[in-house]
Amino acid sequence: MEAVLGLLVISAGVSHGSETSCDARQNGCQCYGALGGTVYLQLVTDATRYDDLLFYKDPTGAKTEILRSKKDKWITKDSPIKDRVHFFINNGTFRLNNTRSTDSGEYLLETFNSAGKSSGIRGLQLFIEAPVSSPQLSSECLSHGEMKVSCSSEGDGPQYSWTLDGQTLNDTETNTITLKKGLSGNLTCTIRNNISSDTVSRRISHCPGLIYVNCTLSNGTKVSEWVNATGNTLCAESTTVATVTEAPTSKTSTGPWFNVLVYFQLVEVFILLTICLGSYWFYKKKTR
Query: Element (H or E) spanning 38, and its range?
Result: strand 38-42
- What pLDDT, on the 0 to 100 scale, is given for residue 126? 96
Could you give the number of structural domains in the chain? 3
How many C-beta atoms lie closer than 10 Å to residue 155's C-beta? 20
Question: Both 234 and 200 in a single domain?
Answer: no
What is the Cα–Cα distance from 196 to 152, expressed in whole angstroms?
15
How many C-beta atoms lie closer than 10 Å to residue 64's C-beta? 15
CATH number at residue 186: 2.60.40.10
Q: Which amino acid is at 276?
A: C
Whether residue 287 is contained in a domain is answered as: no
Contacts of 151 (CB under 8 A, 6+ apart): 135, 136, 137, 160, 162, 175, 176, 189, 191, 200
Question: Both 153 and 200 in a single domain?
Answer: yes
Contacts of 37 (CB under 8 A, 6+ apart): 17, 18, 19, 20, 98, 99
Name the residue range of residue 99's domain: 2-129
* Strand pairing report for 210-217 and 38-42: unpaired
Whether residue 264 is contained in a domain is answered as: no
Question: Both 55 and 174 in a single domain?
Answer: no
CA-based angle 178:180:186, to the nearest 5?
A: 80
What is the Cα–Cα distance from 126 to 100, expressed in whole angstroms?
11
% pLDDT > 90, the chain: 34
Question: Both 151 and 185 in a single domain?
Answer: yes
Question: Both 221 and 169 in a single domain?
Answer: no
Contacts of 164 (CB under 8 A, 6+ apart): 179, 183, 185, 186, 187, 188
Q: Do 88 and 70 touch, CB atoms closer than 8 A?
A: no
Whether residue 257 is contained in a domain is answered as: no
Question: Both 195 and 88 in a single domain?
Answer: no
Question: Both 177 and 220 in a single domain?
Answer: no
Whether residue 271 is contained in a domain is answered as: no
Question: Both 27 and 89 in a single domain?
Answer: yes
pLDDT at 245 over 70: no
Confidence of residue 255 (pLDDT cuts 50, 70, 90): very low
Question: Both 65 and 81 in a single domain?
Answer: yes
Question: Both 97 and 145 in a single domain?
Answer: no
The SS3 call for residue 275 is helix
Record the pTM. 0.63
Whether residue 187 is contained in a domain is answered as: yes
Whether residue 45 is contained in a domain is answered as: yes
Confidence of residue 142 (pLDDT cuts 50, 70, 90): confident
Whether residue 29 is contained in a domain is answered as: yes
What is the Cα–Cα distance from 255 to 259, expressed in whole angstroms?
7
Whether residue 272 is contained in a domain is answered as: no
Confidence of residue 41 (pLDDT cuts 50, 70, 90): very high
Question: Both 145 and 115 in a single domain?
Answer: no
What is the Cα–Cα distance from 198 to 75, expressed in whole angstroms?
40
- Segment 28-36 shows an average pLDDT of 94
Confidence of residue 100 (pLDDT cuts 50, 70, 90): very high
Q: Do 54 and 65 touch, CB atoms closer than 8 A?
A: yes
Domain boundary among 78, 103, 129: 129
173-205 tens-digit pLDDT: 789 998 887 778 999 999 999 999 999 999 987
Q: Which amino acid is at 197?
A: S
* 102: DSSP letter: G
195 CA to centre of own chain: 17
Question: Both 45 and 70 in a single domain?
Answer: yes
Closest by Cα among 151, 150, 145 to 180:
145
Burial letters 255-266, b for 16+ CB under 10 A, else e: eeeeeeeeeeee
28: left (phi over 0), alpha (psi -120 to 50) or beta: left
